[in-house]
Amino acid sequence: MNSFAHWLSTTSPSHAFRVHESWLIPGVQSIHIVGIAVIMGSLFMILLRILGWAGTDQTLRQTTDRFAPWIFGALGLQLVTGIVMIVAEPVRELINFSFWAKMVFVAIGTTLAAIFLYGFPNREQQWDRFVNRRTFKSLAIVTFVIFLCIIVLGRLIAYDHIWGSWSPARQEF
């Protein structure tokens, strides 16, 4: 991974991104944050609906139909902006404990969200059977918390030294 990251940093796209880094990197990061805001807002609306705290004039199915495309659309945006940031600064991102921990949480969180939004049979009765179960509500909360952890780990990429000896950045160079 070390040599890959260093190789990537010598490629021309990486170089091109860094030439314009004074505005490009904060700009792409800002788009990445707008993307996570869309995801969090949408997940939050679904969570509140599942818990029965908001949106109860809508069925759960109507709520997920409303927000699921925004969640997965924004996840696509996150992938694209994320790749740009990796190519621009491969060593900072890839030689980083927070980054890889974040990727694990992204994999788990995306899978859970996909199961929630697409995995259940698309029948209202099925939803209604699940919706009042405590495990269903707990799973919704867990999914939301995983996305909160993704935000924290994403921010901690910039502060990887707080992990101490877990941070490969310390051994780098």
Partner 1 sequence: MPIDAFLKSIEATNFATTVRDSIWMFPIIESIHVMSFTLVVGTIAVIDLRLLGVASVQRAVQRMTQDILKWTWGAFALTVLTGLMMFTTNARVYYHNPFFRTKMILLVFAGLNMAAFEFTAGRTVHIWGSGPSVPRAGKAVAAVSLVLWISIIFMGRIIGFTTHPGAVAPPTPGVNYDNFLAPPPGSSNGNGGGNGAPNQPAPAPPKQ
Total chain residues near partner 1 (CB under 8 A): 48
Stretch that binds partner 1, among 102-110, 120-128, 133-141, 157-165 (CB under 8 A): 157-165
Q: Characterize 58-69 residue by residue with b for buried, 16 or more Cβ atoms within 10 angstroms of its Cβ, and e for exposed.
A: eebbebbeebbe
Q: Rule CB under 8 A: is residue 40 a binding residue for partner 1?
A: yes
Q: Rule CB under 8 A: is residue 39 a binding residue for partner 1?
A: yes
Q: Kindly report each contact of residues 65-70 with a partner whose C-beta sits within 8 Å and lies 24 or more positions away, as own/partner.
A: 67/42, 67/43, 68/42, 68/117, 68/118, 70/38, 70/39, 70/42
Residues that bind partner 1 (CB under 8 A): 9, 18, 21-22, 25-27, 29-30, 33-34, 36-42, 44-45, 48, 54-55, 57-58, 66, 70, 88-89, 91-92, 95, 148, 151-152, 154-162, 169-170, 172-173
